Chain A
Amino acid sequence: MNNFSILFQKEWRENVRNFKILWIPLVFILFGISEPLMYHYLPQILNAVGNMPSDMVFPLPDYTPEQIIMSTIGQYQFIGMLIVAFGFAGIIARERRNGTATMLYVRPIAYTSYVFSKLAIMCILIIGSACIGLLANVYYTYILYGAVDAVAFIGFLGTYSIWLLFAISVVICASSAFPTGIASVISIFLLVVLQLVDGLLGAYWTISPWKLPMYAGQILTGSFDKTPYLWSLTVTIMMVVLLIVGAIYIAKRNVAKAKI
């Protein structure tokens, strides 16, 4: 446990120095608040920037607050996942390459606490930023569209955090197994491409981690099926545990690959 706190301090310092602690929350907040603004003022924006004929009428639908929040989740699912995959693909792999790993591996550290320090810093950075961003989003949606049910929103936030935890463990496992480049490609494939595949062909099955954001949205609107949701949650948490255990095991085996 002592190991863990020292390794965690190292991670924290590193992320403060490379400004990740600052720019990741800022980006999430930015997308969180620009989405409701964009939807609400779309007619005015089109009037101001486009050479539209003055008698043109846009039949814009009336959005509910839930739809605006789900559209923000759509943004997070794409841009947020790109940031997670590209920004953190090197979290273990990079240390093997630039020599930090040799400094660490000669000491009697437990790989469990090594991987858990990575997991903790990523959880704080990504889940924290996404939660702050979504709270800003709810505030703006409240001003422009109306309130959402507070209890449903907490359920939604919790479910989305579980999905983010899954994304984080995918990135950590990929990073512990492969060099940075391959790890980022694999994470992009698992987080963005498979999500598109699940969206296209997903009508044939109901239980998958990639469906969790969709179930989160259903919790928000208050119309959801309990059984497939709970099963998806269970499967996702089991996969998270497997990925983390795998990451610890592979990190231990890949010690020999560290560049000296």
Chain B
Amino acid sequence: MEWDSVPWLLILPVLIIQLLLVVVALIDLLRVKNTNGSKWMWAIIIILISIIGPVIYFIVGRRNE
């Protein structure tokens, strides 16, 4: 598939929102004191699993106290 034929204007918002989710999750990971499980594991999950990774972190990893 050629680079030019990709509809970048339509796909760009998707990429920006994914990036935002990852950045917000990482900022939160740096700010909280403890998480369920090690922080390194969560950083890897947030970065490597797209979309679902940050969501899983926010729901499971974060200790809401």
Q: How many A-B residue pairs have CB under 8 A?
A: 53
User: Closest CB of chain B to A81's CB: distance in Å?
Assistant: 13
User: Closest CB of chain B to A131's CB: distance in Å?
Assistant: 17
User: Closest CB of chain B to A201's CB: distance in Å?
Assistant: 30
Give chain A's interface residue range (CB within 8 Å of chain B). 20 to 34
User: Closest CB of chain A to B28's CB: distance in Å?
Assistant: 5
Q: How far is the CA of A144 from the CA of B60 in the complex (A)?
A: 36
**Also in contact, A87 and B58, with CB within 8 A (given A30-B18, A33-B14):** yes
**B43 in contact (CB, < 8 A):** no
A34 B59 Cβ-Cβ under 8 A? no
**A23 in contact (CB, < 8 A):** yes
B10 CB contacts on chain A under 8 angstroms: 37, 140, 143-144
B51 A90 Cβ-Cβ under 8 A? no
Q: Size of chain B's interface in residues, with CB distance under 8 A?
A: 23
Q: How far is the CA of A117 from the CA of B54 in the complex (A)?
A: 27
Determine the residue in chain B with the shortest Cβ distance to A94: B64
B64 A30 Cβ-Cβ under 8 A? no
B59 A83 Cβ-Cβ under 8 A? yes
**Also in contact, A87 and B59, with CB within 8 A (given A33-B14, A94-B64):** yes
A115 CB contacts on chain B under 8 angstroms: none
**A86 in contact (CB, < 8 A):** yes
**A234 in contact (CB, < 8 A):** no
B-contact 0/1 string along A160-200, CB 8 Å cutoff: 00000000000000000000000000000000000000000
Interface centre among A22, A94, A144 (most CB of B within 10 A): A22
B-contact 0/1 string along A73-107, CB 8 Å cutoff: 00000000001001100100010001000000000
Q: How far is the CA of A18 from the CA of B24 in the complex (A)?
A: 10
**B17 in contact (CB, < 8 A):** yes
Q: How far is the CA of A18 from the CA of B20 in the complex (A)?
A: 15
Determine the residue in chain A with the shortest Cβ distance to B11: A37
**A29 in contact (CB, < 8 A):** yes
B64 A26 Cβ-Cβ under 8 A? no
**A56 in contact (CB, < 8 A):** no
**A123 in contact (CB, < 8 A):** no
**Also in contact, A26 and B20, with CB within 8 A (given A19-B58, A83-B55):** yes
B59 A30 Cβ-Cβ under 8 A? no
B1 CB contacts on chain A under 8 angstroms: 44, 47-48
**Also in contact, A34 and B20, with CB within 8 A (given A83-B59, A86-B59, A87-B59):** no
Q: How far is the CA of A26 from the CA of B58 in the complex (A)?
A: 13
**A148 in contact (CB, < 8 A):** no
Q: How far is the CA of A22 from the CA of B17 in the complex (A)?
A: 11
Determine the residue in chain A with the shortest Cβ distance to B60: A86
A-contact 0/1 string along B42-64, CB 8 Å cutoff: 00000000010011001110101
**B13 in contact (CB, < 8 A):** yes
A-contact 0/1 string along B1-37, CB 8 Å cutoff: 1000101001101100110110011001000000000
